[in-house]
Amino acid sequence: MFDTALFLLADGLTNGAVYAQVALSLVLVYSVTRVVNIAQGEYVMLGALTYADLLDGRMPATMAIVVTGLALWGVTSAWTARHNRRAMMRVLGGAALACLVLAGISAGVLAAPRSAFLAMPAAILLVASLGPIVYRVTVQPNPNASTVVLVIISVGVDMVLQGVGLLFWGSSTYSVAPLANGGISVGPLFLAWQSIAIIAIAIVIMAALYAFFEFTLYGKALQATAINRLGAQFCGIPVARAGALAFFLGAAFSATSGMLLAPLVTAHYDMGFVIGLKGFVGSAMGGLIDYPLALAGVFAVGVLESTSAYAWSAYREVLVFALLIPILLWRSHRLKPGQEA
């Protein structure tokens, strides 16, 4: 009994660490841009599939998505800037340059001997570059749109990304080799290296994020934007660029989580949405703005999921979402009436 509990706990923590990176992305994106990003889970899917492609020696289809996205962004921004020839050329040049650089990196990785340590950063870069594109095309044009409109726009983005995933990768599954096979036994408990890696990388990302926010000017600018957009703008912080950066980092973290998860579940075009939702449930605990509470939330979700999968497997998902209600009630009790949540 005790062994089972330990095993479930370890499993839950691994799940939690996967969701943690998505939750961190969600909190980052929400606090800087006010977008409750339903599409966040799709970057997990793209990360996993891009990584699988690079490991298998194929040019990742993500390249095509990025090129299309950059073209779309280039054309729309060039149109906005059509009266300023130099700005227009700068935009188009920038888009073309970004395409070339990303294609070069991908080609380089493919030419080099297969290595997870080359493929991973390249895949992260590819997927993460989609973040700012999505931000520039769908969020930036309406900085004052209501939260619900922004949510629905992100639902649209989610559909497009998921459909594109199906278009390029089909409905087959891709298996990805873990970073290292085997694991260690701690007493009765067996921990796979992959699980340890997931938790370790999650911790590294959190530490890096903390350092970024606390010790760099750019991080502080991002924080300022999160707290007060208008004020930040008056201080000369380019709010749009901060938003693009938040989307970039968010996509990067989510993609990382996808790559680490892929060996455990096999990669599939359909895998993103539910992971995104669970990250969402977890981060709801901190009201989408509190990093440590979001982490506590996703670990709770992970553990609940693994225990309920063991005890009542059919209702695993339902139980996880049902967890939201008490969390939200608890949150609302902490708010006085009239106080903004």
Partner 1 sequence: MSRHIWALLVGALLLVAPWVLPPFYVGLLTFTGLSAMVVAGLVLLLQAGQVSLGHGAFMGLGAYVSAVLCLRYDVSPWLAMPAGVLLTALAAAVIGRVTLRLRGHYLPLATLAWGIGLFGVFLAWGELTGGASGLDKIPAISLFGFELRDERLYACIVWAVALSIVVAFRRLQVSRIGRAVAAVRTHETMATSFGIDVAALKSRVFILSAIVAAIAGVLYVHHIRFISPTPFNLGASFKFLIMAVLGGPAHSAGAIVGAFVIQGIEWGAQDLFANRLGVSGNYEIIVFGAILVLVLVRWPGGLWPAHLLPTVLPPTTGGTPLPQRGHDADAGGVLLEVEDVAVSFGGLQALRGVSFTLGAGEMVGLIGPNGAGKTTVFNVITGLQRPTAGAVRFRGRPLARHTDRIVGDGLARTFQHVQLVPTLSVLENVAIGAHARTRCGIASGLFGGNGAEERAIFTAAHEAIQRVGLADVAYAAAGSLPLGRQRIVEIARALLADPVVLLLDEPAAGLRFSEKLELVKLLRRLRREGMTILLVEHDMELVMSVVDRLVVFNRGEVIARGTPADVQRDPLVIDAYLGGVA
Q: Which residues bind partner 1 (CB under 8 A)?
A: 30, 36, 137-138, 141-142, 145-149, 151-153, 155-164, 166-167, 171, 280-281, 284, 287-288, 314-315, 317-318, 321-322, 324-325, 328-329, 331-332, 335, 337-338, 340-341
CB of 276 to partner 1, least distance (A): 12
Confirm if 19 and 272 have CB atoms less than 8 A apart: no
Q: CA 156, CA 236: separation in Å to the nearest integer?
A: 32
Cβ neighbourhood burial of 50 (10 Å; 0-12, 13-18, 19+): buried
CB of 335 to partner 1, least distance (A): 8
Question: 236's torsion region: left (phi>0), alpha (psi -120 to 50) or beta?
Answer: left
Distance of CA 175 to the CA centre of its chain: 21
* Residue (37 or 50) nearer to partner 1, CB: 37
- Among all chains, which residue has been given the structure tokens 């096999």? 266
* Residue (136 or 221) nearer to partner 1, CB: 136
CB of 153 to partner 1, least distance (A): 5
* Residue (1 or 148) nearer to partner 1, CB: 148
CB of 156 to partner 1, least distance (A): 4
For CA atoms 19, 23, 26, 32, give the dihedral sign: negative
If residue 192 lies in a helix (H) or strand (E), which one and from where to where? strand 189-192
What contacts 266, CB < 8 A, 6 or more positions away? Answer: 173, 174, 175, 176
What contacts 77, CB < 8 A, 6 or more positions away? Answer: 91, 136
DSSP reduced 3-state for 339:
coil
* Residue (178 or 276) nearer to partner 1, CB: 276
Task: With both helix axes pointing from N to C terminus, report the angle between 62-80 and 40-56 in degrees, rounded to the nearest 10.
Answer: 130
Q: CA 186, CA 26: separation in Å to the nearest integer?
A: 33
CB of 63 to partner 1, least distance (A): 18
CB of 119 to partner 1, least distance (A): 27
* Residue (125 or 139) nearer to partner 1, CB: 139
* Residue (217 or 314) nearer to partner 1, CB: 314
* Residue (263 or 279) nearer to partner 1, CB: 279
CB of 192 to partner 1, least distance (A): 30
Count Cα neighbours of 101 within 13 Å in the Cβ-side half-sphere.
10
